[in-house]
Amino acid sequence: MTKPLRLGVAGLGTVGGGLVRLLTAHAGRLALRTGRTIEITAVSARDPKKDRGLGNALGNVTFHADPVALAKDPGIDVFVELIGGETVAREAAEAAIAAGKPVVTANKALLAHHGRELAAKAEAAGVPICFEAAVAGGIPIVKALREGLSGNRIDAVYGILNGTSNYILTSMAESGASFEDALAEAQRLGYAEADPGFDVDGVDAAHKLTLLASLAFGAAVDFNAVHVEGIRQISALDIAFARELGYRIKLVGIAKATDDGLDVRVHPAMIAAESALGHVDGVFNGVVVQGDFVDQMAFEGRGAGAGPTASAVMADIVDVALGLHLPLYGVPVAALGGARVIPVTSRFGASYMRLSVVDRPGVIADIAAILRDEQVSIESLLQRGRAPGEGVPVVIVTHEVQEAAMARALARIAALESVLERPTMIRIEEIK
């Protein structure tokens, strides 16, 4: 048997604790699969004395206060980065790379912002950076894109990549609750942070989508070029109308290769209820990949939590133990393709818009005239309820139209005196 693989684990929070438990539970199984013992020999954590309920699992390990010192510890072969953030995590990862040690990380923000630089450094040092746990929790989607589907030109990737947002949208759909109430419930249950912006404003999903798009297209996509919208504006009313129209509202990440560049964006969208992502509910994540030979592939699983994330981290560690070494984005840095991201204004697609209008004759005619002027073609129009002289909802579904034209129409409609609130616009996306 080869000598043991010695792990240095930075961070003993939820995921770190899960990893310790996984290694304790499956040491024998993992040794059989890799032909060597895998053991944690050093860790770093803010408070080494804190009781993490891990019993004697960490009995003999070296504790470091500083993750960078851990990364440099000659007693570890692999640096497992589970602290998050972009400063210390980056410094520690770079220290590990400089010391010739493979890096396993769950840090999507780090890679979405600095992936290309880290990939170049790792390549120069001849060590792999593995990040299965950074995207879609337990779903082995990085492995699928980098290896399992490597015989395909990937044309598109669609994902429900943030469990917190999906939980909130699902709970709004089930209970009819408002965003605020559903968020409060998610916070009470521990599915949402006290400061939920990272999740509900789409940032976390965009980090993950940046990585998926980079892998799919063999290009280092610039996170800052990705259009990002969150779910705070979604109302229970929109969710109910969506259902009536045969759709579900989901926070989706979309990455498509087009002739003009990469179309990469995160926003709430209406997707067909019976599409592969339409039934991905609650804290689950889902990813759909469209490849030229494989056609459509869908993956669904838990996107977060100690167990699923530890499962993904462990898969990377097993790869390292087996000597599998792939470039971060699947291809060498020098071979990365163009990653021009096209602006969302060039989107061409259908949309849903909901208006609150004064219930009086002529209002619909004004709106229809604006849409006609802007060349936005109406697929259907619903007006519900009567309340003469007061506000009633009007829902319009458009045919496919250029986003810029849609934006002009919306601005003009919003300015009508008979339109009472800022119009809601939700893109309708076909997952294919």
Residues that bind its own copies (CB under 8 A): 18, 22, 25-26, 29-30, 32-33, 132, 138-140, 143-144, 147-153, 218, 274, 276, 279, 291-302, 305, 307-308, 310-315, 317-319, 322-324, 326, 330-332, 335
Task: Let me know if 208 is a catalytic residue.
Answer: yes
- The least CB distance from residue 80 to its own copies, in Å, is 13
Which of 108, 208, 250, 256 does the annotation list as catalytic? Answer: 208
Structure tokens at 111: 């890679």
Structure tokens at 360: 């009086």
Question: Which residue, 292 or 373, is less far from its own copies as judged by CB?
Answer: 292
- The least CB distance from residue 324 to its own copies, in Å, is 5
- The least CB distance from residue 286 to its own copies, in Å, is 9
Strands (E), 214-343: 227-228, 247-258, 261-272, 284-291, 295-302
Q: Residue 255 has what DSSP assignment?
A: E
d(CA 40, CA 78) in angstroms, rounded, equals: 10
Nearest CA to 350 out of 383, 375, 376, 381 is that of 376
CA–CA–CA angle 135, 39, 318 (5° rounding): 40
- The least CB distance from residue 134 to its own copies, in Å, is 14
Packing angle between helix 306-321 and helix 14-34, nearest 10 degrees? 40
For residue 34, give Cα distances in angstroms to 18, 100, 367: 20, 21, 65
- The least CB distance from residue 149 to its own copies, in Å, is 6
CB-based contacts of 199: which residues, under 8 Å, 6+ apart?
A: 162, 164, 165, 192, 193
Question: Which residue, 206 or 276, is less far from its own copies as judged by CB?
Answer: 276
Question: Which residue, 313 or 376, is less far from its own copies as judged by CB?
Answer: 313
Contact 426, 238 (CB under 8 A): yes
Question: Which residue, 180 or 295, is less far from its own copies as judged by CB?
Answer: 295
Question: Which residue, 147 or 379, is less far from its own copies as judged by CB?
Answer: 147
CB-based contacts of 45: which residues, under 8 Å, 6+ apart?
A: 11, 12, 16, 63
- The residue written with tokens 């939920």 in the block is 196
Structure tokens at 106: 């769950």
Question: Which residue, 313 or 371, is less far from its own copies as judged by CB?
Answer: 313
Q: What is the 3-state secondary structure (H, E, C) of 376-402?
A: CCEEEEEECCCCECCEEEEEEEECCEE
d(CA 302, CA 85) in angstroms, rounded, equals: 22
Question: Which residue, 96 or 317, is less far from its own copies as judged by CB?
Answer: 317
- The least CB distance from residue 275 to its own copies, in Å, is 10
Question: Which residue, 226 or 339, is less far from its own copies as judged by CB?
Answer: 339
- CA torsion, points 132, 226, 264, 232, in degrees to nearest 10? 90
What 3-state DSSP class applies to 61?
Answer: coil
- CA torsion, points 330, 198, 165, 426, in degrees to nearest 10? -90
Residues annotated as part of the active site: 208
